[in-house]
Amino acid sequence: MVYYRQLQDDEKTVFVGRRQSWRTIAVYAAIFAVISAIIPKPVVEADRTILENLISAEELTTRLDAMLNVFRNISNGDQFRDRSRNRLVYEVVAKEPLRIKTATRSTYNFEKDEWNIQDLDDHYYNTSKGTPFDIGSKMGLADAFLEAAKLDENFASKYGLIGYLNQGLAEPKVNHAVFYLMNGLIGLPQGTDMAPVPQGAITMTDCSVQNKTARLLGGTVYSVNTQFPSNARFEFDYSANTFFYSPTNREFIDHLNTFDYKQLLNDTYEVLSRELGPDSDPDQVRLYNYFEVDYECYDAYLEYLLDYGNRKRIKDLSDDITKGCESEYDKALALESYFYNNDYIYDLTYDTTGKNAEDFMFVTKTGVCYEYATSMVLLARAAGIPARYCEGYNMSSRLDRSNMPNTTFGISLQDSHGFPELYLKGYGWLSFEPTVADDIITKKQTSSTDLLSRAGMIMLVGSLIALLLAFIYPWLSHKYFVLRSKKRQPADVVKAIVHRICKVYDIDEAYTSREVSTFVHESTGVDISYTAELFDRSEYGGENVNAQEKERALSEYISAYDAFRESRKRRRITNR
């Protein structure tokens, strides 16, 4: 707001007309915009979680139960279609993004488009009353085959593993991750019966509550008698997902697949069970326990996890995708990349009612992670690779601010995810990511602070432009006037010169041309009396103005303008 008031008339007072004050106002506005845009502003993020939970507690509890707990008979992917809630579920200390598993499903119903739990998902394999609690092995099953070769020379010779014993395999790095369940922080009593198991988990090294814990056949970790509390902490050692990056490792797996795999499993089990016992090295015990699970379940894998409904279109598509692939790992990669290369769309709003995975593969090509994961599982089974559907989270969002010490990643309900796991002979279970998520259709909420920042930047740019124009406009206007005057009629130019001099010198146009001439001469010493006389003769006397007279008048105008600009510069210097 600009306020004008009368000042006392003294020698120190400089009177400025309203027409001149706009430039000062523009400079002030520009400076204000620059300051408001550059100075950091506090980020105000209202935590509406508690309020939203009170408003929709039943819905949130259902959603949490679906994602945190395993013992639901079915899964149809509905929990992945609502991404409107961004409530934090876990804060995590980790060095890299992770894929988290909380549940597995083995049987798909085409008619209902849903996955169902079977014995391979929810049966205990082993239990523990505390931690550490072994889950997997550093290199999957490869550890067990190499260990058997070390323990038995005949086994090593039979399966041609002596060279690999001497050379060794490229072992993935073992990392550590800590998960904090955040429900208790906001006052929600909802706990979890499932620990968040990272891909490649080797051992749950610690847990804030030493419940009786079970490793399920699906590779998940379950609290047996009571839920883990809403503020539980879980710590894991896990193997980095780099095993197949090594050419030597891939060659090792391909070599094992040249033998009868069932016989290889039998011979390995015989060596390990004979040579290893409770007093063996902990790493040896761990790899033996992990191998034993797969050894005892392998026949069940072949019975239940190769079912793709005998759908001819699925079989034909699988054969076409994997044509020319030499290994199961190559087939898995081909199936994974198929969705990226064939115009499939990730759409949270797409209605899948009455449709199933076969429709997704061949007709709609539109869905969420549930459809992508289900389709890859069925295609892998059609290719002869045991596969299962898994649920959990994709952890990829780094925290801007954290509630727990040293946490680097956050997992929210929006990160809930479905993905496939494939059983690769020689290695075991490995997860893949077929979901195309480049164009996720979601609504991003913008905070008031963000809106103010954007408005400030718009003000900044606009003010800088206005400020620039405030200083260069007079010069540009002067140059344009001179250029345009060369093409106008002489009488029109003389009249325009007098009016322009009045504007530049801020002279009221009620004054006569002679009075204007006198004012200019007194202000800057420039004589424009010839132009003033020429103006009177043409305007009031009706005389014609020739080209030579126009040029002289234009020359006087230029001198008057330059002198005015120079006087302004001298005045600014004097004021300093």
3-state secondary structure 7-23: CCCCCCCCCCCHHHHHH
Determine the pLDDT at residue 249.
96
Q: Are strands 345-346 and 366-367 parallel, antiparallel or unpaired?
A: parallel
Q: Residue 229 has what DSSP assignment? A: P
564's torsion region: left (phi>0), alpha (psi -120 to 50) or beta?
alpha
DSSP states along 486-508 = TTS-HHHHHHHHHHHHHHHTT--
Q: How far apart are CA 299 and CA 303, in angstroms?
A: 6
Cβ contact 495:477 at 8 Å: no
Look up tokens 């309020």; give the residue.
Answer: 51
Q: What is the pLDDT of residue 164?
A: 95
Q: How far is Cα 216 from Cα 237, in angstroms, rounded to an integer?
A: 18
Q: Could you tell me the two tokens for 517? A: 């001439």
What type of residue is 46?
A
The one-character DSSP state at 228 is B
The pLDDT score that the predictor gives to residue 493 is: 82
Alpha-carbon dihedral 432, 438, 440, 444, rounded to 10 degrees: 120
**pLDDT for residue 446:** 44
- pLDDT by residue, tens only, the chain of 576 residues: 455 455 455 555 555 555 556 566 666 666 666 666 666 655 544 444 444 444 444 555 555 555 555 456 688 888 888 665 678 899 999 999 999 999 999 999 999 999 999 889 988 888 888 889 899 999 999 999 999 999 999 999 999 999 999 999 999 999 999 999 998 887 777 889 999 999 999 999 999 988 889 999 999 999 988 899 999 999 999 999 999 999 999 999 999 999 999 999 999 999 999 999 888 898 898 899 999 999 999 999 999 999 999 999 999 999 999 999 999 999 999 999 999 999 999 999 899 999 999 999 999 999 999 999 999 999 999 999 999 999 999 999 999 888 998 999 999 988 999 999 999 999 999 999 999 875 444 433 444 445 555 655 666 666 667 666 666 777 778 888 888 888 888 888 888 888 888 888 888 777 888 888 888 888 888 888 888 888 888 888 888 888 888 788 888 888 888 888 887 776 655 544
- What is the 3-class SS of 383-452, one letter each residue? CCCCEEEEEEEEECEECCCCCCCCCCEEEEHHHEEEEEEEEECCCEEEECCCCCCCCCCCCCCCCHHHHH
Give SS3 for 453.
helix
Beta-ladder partners of 235: 178, 206
Tell the burial category of 150 from Cβ atoms under 10 Å away from its Cβ (0-12, 13-18, 19+). middle
For the chain, the maximum distance between any two Cα atoms, rounded to a whole number of angstroms, is: 128
* Closest by Cα among 178, 190, 176 to 87: 190
Name beta bridge partners: 221: 215
The pTM (predicted TM-score) of the whole model is 0.68
According to the model, what pLDDT value does residue 471 have? 66
Cα→Cα distances 574→209, 212, 265, 570, Å: 79, 87, 97, 6
pLDDT of residue 255: 97
Q: How far apart, in whole angstroms, are the C-alpha atoms of residue 304 and residue 265?
A: 19
